[in-house]
Amino acid sequence: MHFQHSDRGLHYQERVARFLEDRVLPRAKDYFAEVHTDPTRQPPTMEAMKAEAREAGLWNMFLPGDHGTGLTNLEYAPLAEAMGKAGLWTPEVFNCNAPDTGNMEVLHMYGNAGQQDRWLKPLMAGEIRSAFLMTEPEVASSDATNIQTSIVRDGDHYVINGRKWWSTNMAHPNVAIAIVMGKTDTGAATHAQQSQVLVPTDTPGFRVERMLTVFGYDEKPIGHAEVVLDNVRVPAENLIAGEGRGFEIAQGRLGPGRIHHCMRVIGCAERALELMCERLLNRTAFKKQIAEHSVWEQRVAEARTNIEMCRLMVLKAAWMIDQAGAKNAKSEIAQIKVAAPRMALQVIDDAIQAFGGAGVSGDTPLAELYATVRTLRIADGPDEVHNRTIARLEYARHGGRPVK
Amino acid sequence: MHFQHSDRGLHYQERVARFLEDRVLPRAKDYFAEVHTDPTRQPPTMEAMKAEAREAGLWNMFLPGDHGTGLTNLEYAPLAEAMGKAGLWTPEVFNCNAPDTGNMEVLHMYGNAGQQDRWLKPLMAGEIRSAFLMTEPEVASSDATNIQTSIVRDGDHYVINGRKWWSTNMAHPNVAIAIVMGKTDTGAATHAQQSQVLVPTDTPGFRVERMLTVFGYDEKPIGHAEVVLDNVRVPAENLIAGEGRGFEIAQGRLGPGRIHHCMRVIGCAERALELMCERLLNRTAFKKQIAEHSVWEQRVAEARTNIEMCRLMVLKAAWMIDQAGAKNAKSEIAQIKVAAPRMALQVIDDAIQAFGGAGVSGDTPLAELYATVRTLRIADGPDEVHNRTIARLEYARHGGRPVK
Amino acid sequence: MHFQHSDRGLHYQERVARFLEDRVLPRAKDYFAEVHTDPTRQPPTMEAMKAEAREAGLWNMFLPGDHGTGLTNLEYAPLAEAMGKAGLWTPEVFNCNAPDTGNMEVLHMYGNAGQQDRWLKPLMAGEIRSAFLMTEPEVASSDATNIQTSIVRDGDHYVINGRKWWSTNMAHPNVAIAIVMGKTDTGAATHAQQSQVLVPTDTPGFRVERMLTVFGYDEKPIGHAEVVLDNVRVPAENLIAGEGRGFEIAQGRLGPGRIHHCMRVIGCAERALELMCERLLNRTAFKKQIAEHSVWEQRVAEARTNIEMCRLMVLKAAWMIDQAGAKNAKSEIAQIKVAAPRMALQVIDDAIQAFGGAGVSGDTPLAELYATVRTLRIADGPDEVHNRTIARLEYARHGGRPVK
Amino acid sequence: MHFQHSDRGLHYQERVARFLEDRVLPRAKDYFAEVHTDPTRQPPTMEAMKAEAREAGLWNMFLPGDHGTGLTNLEYAPLAEAMGKAGLWTPEVFNCNAPDTGNMEVLHMYGNAGQQDRWLKPLMAGEIRSAFLMTEPEVASSDATNIQTSIVRDGDHYVINGRKWWSTNMAHPNVAIAIVMGKTDTGAATHAQQSQVLVPTDTPGFRVERMLTVFGYDEKPIGHAEVVLDNVRVPAENLIAGEGRGFEIAQGRLGPGRIHHCMRVIGCAERALELMCERLLNRTAFKKQIAEHSVWEQRVAEARTNIEMCRLMVLKAAWMIDQAGAKNAKSEIAQIKVAAPRMALQVIDDAIQAFGGAGVSGDTPLAELYATVRTLRIADGPDEVHNRTIARLEYARHGGRPVK
């Protein structure tokens, strides 16, 4: 055991940090101006940054093995953290943004040659964007067996009917493909009813009903949609892996994906802590620097401590995925999935309090960070369900009933 | 001691509840449609509701004594709670919305006959709206001695220069007058430097620089502005009470005002708890009603308990103001000012978690409630400053140094 | 609604406070010296104080109606708080200590003339002490249906077999009678299986197996025992109220009893806060009075706020019992049963932290207070069960299934 | 970076685990019976276990480098955790118990040859025990500059006067030597006033005034004493390192020492979690295994998560001490010093709640564990002071004033 990053990891950390500093952050203003002017058009600044990142080899770093840059999850973690600290819009620069990353992983692991050629290739090239349609508004999606969307075989096609929401990326100008989770056989065993199928977003019957807000933010240019699938027909070859494997694919997908979120979230917390310290050092109340008031010493200390502990946890979980696969890191992934957002929300909330009115307004990134991170206590399974998993694995060590 | 509301109080509770149920809530949709269509125009639906409320004698109920409806603060409390539960846009219907209420109280207590005639009368009639300009972006406004805005006597006029923000109501179509806090004498004793002056919002040099957001909400039609005062000249008779009395006026204003906020906040928490219970009873996960999962039993129970305790505290503080004035209820006011928003934020956050994606979106009022209530841990003094007051009063009982 | 205590209540508050100050606290040292010298003998100092209290009419004040002093629960509450603040050994001085109070209530409400003459009279005179044997070591006693002790009719007698623990008072030199809860009919409806029976502690087969500790304290001279009932025979007339009414009696008993505990607990918290403030004002670290460090301002303020809120809650619950009976105050009683100990533990723990090493040692009463109050999150039903009750009553308002 | 323990580390982990399982835990009962029978005599069972541990080479493993077993702090950490899990009395078996370990480190690093020969040798052989006398009852010892004990040069001797408390080990039958912290020069720079001197416990004037309790426990056979030093004379050569170096020595000592405590505390938390799970799986309430109640799923999951995060933090801090010395791990040591006991207290408290009455009594080790771990939020500096250190190091990154 040791806590020194690999040379290769450090090399990438240094390069990503420099790239963010030199090429990305100075163009944030231009980028957002373009988004604001016309959110239906992919901002040229983003495309320029993407081209430079790809050129620099800082591209698809999330993909383990030889398909991306050959980094391990453990090596990728600090890079995702750096992007999270720079701003949650920056992963797209490196083609490392959710849900495209998860979709690429799914196609990489479960897609056949035709699917990979048709969809994985342009995704990895950053030419198109994708969505993942799982959550449904009418049922508690925390329990995957509740899914109501139907995928029915009809000759050479599947016909899909259902309603999905929180379909991230659906406002993206380049979105082209969605992976849709639904049930092909409601009579099968509980976890063999689901399948996943590729649905081009321009298929007739595929309709964005409305865009959702997150605490008042529309999160453009990404956006989260409510999507209606109304007798959507796709060729049978669009099915991923095979009927009844939807649950399995979802599980495989969520391991590294959850870790990526956590990495970024730790970056968000670092940013909040940095802003908070600067503020506390630069304001005076009751004749003292606010930093001198001991209640803030306690909060800053707890922020630092909790960030460090969560970072170690996410690194360990990444290492375990590298060593033994996501399945064997089930408890660790669930642990950090719950712990990281909760930690970050506390740090961000304290930072908001340190800033007062500026904290809740648009003058700092804090309120929007809070909103986004808050969704992560819900997305990809709420805290309660992950804690249930952790507890049952714990009980199993002591003779409790086995966990599926 | 007893816990039964007075007959007069119960009578008003019943009438306000019925009015909200029958005349206000059914028109919410119309009202927001009008706001959405043209936020620069006072929505006719609001004016209609106001006329009816005034007609029904449910008007200016916040004003103690004979000037409003003759209700005590203790009797008014449940009415404010009912409005808070119905929605934070409803107090305007009854001419009971901040900051107009506080401004009316100031004019009522400190204004001279001319000022009352010119500004208090139309405010009490609901014909104009007002703002209170205290907080400044450049300094920690938690310490009132930090204020930088200058109010300088120049012949028959005062000339005001400064920058204010979180000036609520500045987007309101009917806003006409602002009470501005500034320093008339930076050489005077610490708490005798400040003065308050009436500034019509159409005075040359009075400029709304921009509107602020709270999380991602613009809180229209009310709105919070950043305002620049650039050599604003007002007649000397616009000074309230006298030079050097600004701090005293602010203190007097904030007692009942803070209580009103707390009352409404308890209503917000009740609403969140109600929504949460309904959701938990209407969804199923892992083969059980979510309400049956015991973690939710604990959260619902804590919500109920904490709401009850905060309500009792706010009622006691109201009673103390009625009996002995805000000055003698200093600790109690500070206590509930800190406790009520914190409690409500927890209840709302749990409700968000119960709703999942619907909780953070615009499909429930929860995310916006969270954002609004979050500002109350900052507005009118941050938690830390109120806790400081409470602690010093406590220390004083044990021989600690006296609290100013 | 108002928050002023009645004249009669204030009169008793003043007298109890003076009695504690003048007659009780100055003799604490003597009392504990006697306990230490011979814990098997009732300390003469206690008997002397009891005689004086009885003489002064400060006796059996817990009993509502005409049987005690005629005080309401609401009027009694501040008296119990004062005793809790003075020290948890002081209620005995006033014949107001648990579990004797609860046992007297049971005999008062459910006992027949013979039982009252034989046991209630000497209990009310303070001549004997009593125990209440409900909790069992082998089962989760939070669920009363789990009770295993059997009470079997055998001619003119009942024969009792079982094992009980946490039988408070069993170390008391004057303990003479125990009320034992057991099952008379395991085939009856769930809540009609239990009965309560009076068992003199010198009955053959009634055996104290051992005394229990609470965080290392033996809590002498009261003490908590594990008791074995081995074919204990008592006359059939010792049955209270009737077979199958044990659960009903337990419910009736626990309402006011829980409230009494909460009142005392609030007194404990007041004492801890007082000690904490004195300590913070009398120590210096890093060139400042510790009271000046703002983290302590936050803690002291929260302590004050939470004490005030819990006190109001306990007063309201007491008032509801007075007005409408414990049954109609079910949620309120459960709320304060959970909230008061939790609040007090936090205040005591903060006080311990303020005292450092002195806080965990015997040099302050804090560590022992912590230990005793900690048991109240378990005794008379654990937090989780009370929260379950509160939640179900809440759900019932929204159409959830009815609560028994 | 990787998370696999070294082969050597794993080898020792396996051997210590087996030794505890086979040789120590089965003799716990004998050991405590001996302690109980005569606490003034070193229990023969302990001496037998010590001899076997030394024989097996499981001895002095805490000492880094070649003087012990050659283990790093990182390798030692899991061993300390295993001892903490087995019971806080077990480190003595391996000569790895505080405060002897810290005292050996001090003598090892700062002692001269004579001191090492006279005191370090028998300490390392387990023949004598030692105490560390730093904390004083009259001042806030969190601020080391407050120390009042005087060490005055008088010819060839030092004369020591003062009062110390929380002098652990002073009840140990083999205690022979104390390291005493005091001031040799109150006129020197703040951190150059203190010195440390070796004082044999049988020196005239060295007097144990009384033994202290922790909650209600006397923590025999170790014990914590209040010690009076009344004109205690020791030869000048008993001074450690040099006059004015006392603060420096204390700092050096506390780094690894704090880490050792944290390691053991994590073991305590593991034990509490294990006991909690077993209990939850073996009791039934309301017709369900208590483990099935979802509130317990949340608590068990949080316990597991927080234990994992704290363990990683302690391992990282140990690694940093190994790599760069305690001075460069200042923030990390402070972080885990605060985080580990707080985490463990929560886990233990939840376990107590799971056990109900058995949890607060002597039937489980939980209440005593709670009491002992609670002292660690105070000992070696209270949380508030460590958090202050962490915060100031954090501020320093942003231009805050330098931390001494």
Question: Looking at the domain that runs over D247-397, which CATH code has it been given?
Answer: 1.20.140.10
Cβ distance of A315 and D274 shorter than 8 Å: no
The minimum CA-CA distance between B291 and chain D, rounded to whole Å, is: 11
Q: Is A302 on the interface with C (CB under 8 A)?
A: no
The minimum CA-CA distance between D247 and chain B, rounded to whole Å, is: 33
pLDDT value for C403: 57
- Spell out, as residue ranges, where chain C has pLDDT lower than 50: none
Cβ distance of D277 and A1 shorter than 8 Å: no
The minimum CA-CA distance between D301 and chain A, rounded to whole Å, is: 5
Find which of B3, B72, B266, B270 to mutate to test the C interface (most C CBs within 10 Å of its CB): B3
Q: How far apart are the C-alpha atoms of A402 and C58, rounded to whole Å?
A: 61
Cβ distance of A146 and B284 shorter than 8 Å: yes
Which partners does chain D have (≥3 C-beta pairs < 8 Å)? A, B, C
Write out the DSSP string of C341-395: HHHHHHHHHHHHHHHTHHHHSTTSSHHHHHHHHHHTTTTTS-HHHHHHHHHHHHH
Q: Is B298 on the interface with C (CB under 8 A)?
A: yes
Task: Please choose, from the candidates C316, C3, C312, the residue with its C-alpha nearest in 3D space to the C-alpha of residue B73.
Answer: C3
Per residue in D145-183, pLDDT (tens digit) is 899 999 999 999 999 999 999 999 999 999 999 999 999
Which of A5, A296, A313 is facing D1, going by the closest CB pair?
A5
Q: How far apart are the C-alpha atoms of D369 and D344, rounded to whole Å?
A: 9
Which partners does chain C have (≥3 C-beta pairs < 8 Å)? A, B, D
CA atoms within 13 A on the CB side of B294: 22
Confidence (pTM): 0.97
Domain with CATH 1.10.540.10 in chain C: 7-99
Question: For D157, phi and psi rounded to 5 degrees?
Answer: -125, 165
Q: Is A110 on the interface with B (CB under 8 A)?
A: no
What is the mean pLDDT of the segment spanning D247-252?
A: 87
Q: Is A354 on the interface with D (CB under 8 A)?
A: no
Q: Is C362 on the interface with D (CB under 8 A)?
A: yes
pLDDT value for B257: 79
Q: Is C305 on the interface with A (CB under 8 A)?
A: no
pLDDT value for C123: 98
Question: For D195, phi and psi rounded to 5 degrees?
Answer: -140, 160
Task: Please choose, from the candidates D289, A387, B301, the residue with its C-alpha nearest in 3D space to the C-alpha of residue C383.
Answer: B301
Cβ distance of D356 and C283 shorter than 8 Å: no
**Chain A residues with beta carbon closer than 8 angstroms to that of C299:** none
CA distances from D374 to C182, D260, D351 (A): 39, 16, 15
Question: For D294, phi and psi rounded to 5 degrees?
Answer: -70, -20
> What is the DSSP pairing of strand D157-168 with strand D150-154?
antiparallel
Specify the DSSP class assigned to residue D400.
P
Which of A74, A336, A400 is facing D291, going by the closest CB pair?
A400
**Chain D residues with beta carbon closer than 8 angstroms to that of A6:** 1
CA distances from C55 to A148, C92, C93 (A): 76, 15, 12
Does 2.40.110.10 match the CATH number of domain C126-240?
A: yes
- Spell out, as residue ranges, where chain B has pLDDT lower than 50: none
Cβ distance of D298 and B295 shorter than 8 Å: yes
What is the H or E stretch that residue C132 is in? Answer: strand C129-133
Which of D291, D310, D388 is facing A309, going by the closest CB pair?
D310
pLDDT value for B399: 87
The minimum CA-CA distance between B138 and chain A, rounded to whole Å, is: 9
The minimum CA-CA distance between C2 and chain D, rounded to whole Å, is: 38
* Residue D67 in this model has a pLDDT that exceeds 80: no
pLDDT value for A402: 64
Domain with CATH 2.40.110.10 in chain D: 128-240
**Burial of B399 per CB tally in 10 Å (0-12, 13-18, 19+):** exposed
The minimum CA-CA distance between C329 and chain A, rounded to whole Å, is: 32
Q: Is A142 on the interface with D (CB under 8 A)?
A: no
Cβ distance of D391 and A4 shorter than 8 Å: no
Q: Is C298 on the interface with A (CB under 8 A)?
A: yes
Which of D137, D146, D382 is facing C353, going by the closest CB pair?
D382
**Chain B residues with beta carbon closer than 8 angstroms to that of D350:** none
Which of D143, D216, D285 is facing C215, going by the closest CB pair?
D216
- Check residue A129 and give left, alpha or beta (phi > 0: left; psi -120 to 50: alpha): beta
**Chain A residues with beta carbon closer than 8 angstroms to that of D387:** 297-298, 301-302
**Chain B residues with beta carbon closer than 8 angstroms to that of C278:** 398
The minimum CA-CA distance between B236 and chain A, rounded to whole Å, is: 31
Chain D: residue whose CA lies nearest to B296: D295
pLDDT value for A403: 57
Question: Looking at the domain that runs over B128-240, which CATH code has it been given?
Answer: 2.40.110.10
Q: C248-252, C312-316, D13-17, D321-325: which range is least confident on average? A: C248-252
pLDDT value for C252: 77
Determine the residue type at C114.
G
Which partners does chain A have (≥3 C-beta pairs < 8 Å)? B, C, D
Q: How far apart are the C-alpha atoms of D29 and D36, rounded to whole Å?
A: 10
Domain with CATH 1.20.140.10 in chain A: 247-397
Q: Which CATH architecture has domain C7-99?
A: Orthogonal Bundle (1.10)
Cβ distance of B283 and A140 shorter than 8 Å: yes
Residue B292 CB partners (closer than 8 Å, separation 6+): none
pLDDT value for C402: 64
Which residues 209-228 of C have a C-beta within 8 angstroms of D?
A: 212-218
pLDDT value for A224: 97
In tens digits, chain A (404 residues) has pLDDT values of 999 999 999 999 999 999 999 999 999 999 999 999 998 999 999 999 999 999 999 999 998 777 778 899 999 999 999 999 999 999 999 999 999 999 999 999 999 999 999 999 999 999 999 999 999 999 988 787 899 999 999 999 999 999 999 999 999 999 999 999 999 999 999 999 999 999 999 999 999 999 999 999 999 888 999 999 999 999 999 999 999 999 999 887 777 878 889 999 999 999 999 999 999 999 998 888 999 999 999 999 999 999 999 999 999 999 999 999 988 999 999 999 999 999 999 999 999 999 999 999 999 999 999 999 999 999 989 999 999 999 999 999 998 876 55
CA atoms within 13 A on the CB side of A224: 25
**Chain C residues with beta carbon closer than 8 angstroms to that of B306:** 339
**Chain A residues with beta carbon closer than 8 angstroms to that of C297:** 295
Cβ distance of D291 and A399 shorter than 8 Å: no
The minimum CA-CA distance between A146 and chain B, rounded to whole Å, is: 8
Chain C: residue whose CA lies nearest to B10: C1
Question: Looking at the domain that runs over B7-111, which CATH code has it been given?
Answer: 1.10.540.10
Q: Is C9 on the interface with B (CB under 8 A)?
A: yes
Q: Is A289 on the interface with C (CB under 8 A)?
A: no
Q: How many CB atoms lie within 10 A of CB B54?
A: 16
Cβ distance of A388 and D294 shorter than 8 Å: yes
What is the H or E stretch that residue A180 is in? Answer: strand A175-183
Q: Is A357 on the interface with B (CB under 8 A)?
A: yes
Q: Is B288 on the interface with A (CB under 8 A)?
A: no
Q: How far apart are the C-alpha atoms of A273 and A366, rounded to whole Å?
A: 10
Cβ distance of C391 and B298 shorter than 8 Å: yes
Chain A: residue whose CA lies nearest to C291: A294
Cβ distance of C297 and A297 shorter than 8 Å: no
Cβ distance of A213 and B213 shorter than 8 Å: no
Residue A376 CB partners (closer than 8 Å, separation 6+): A261, A265, A340, A341
The minimum CA-CA distance between D241 and chain C, rounded to whole Å, is: 27
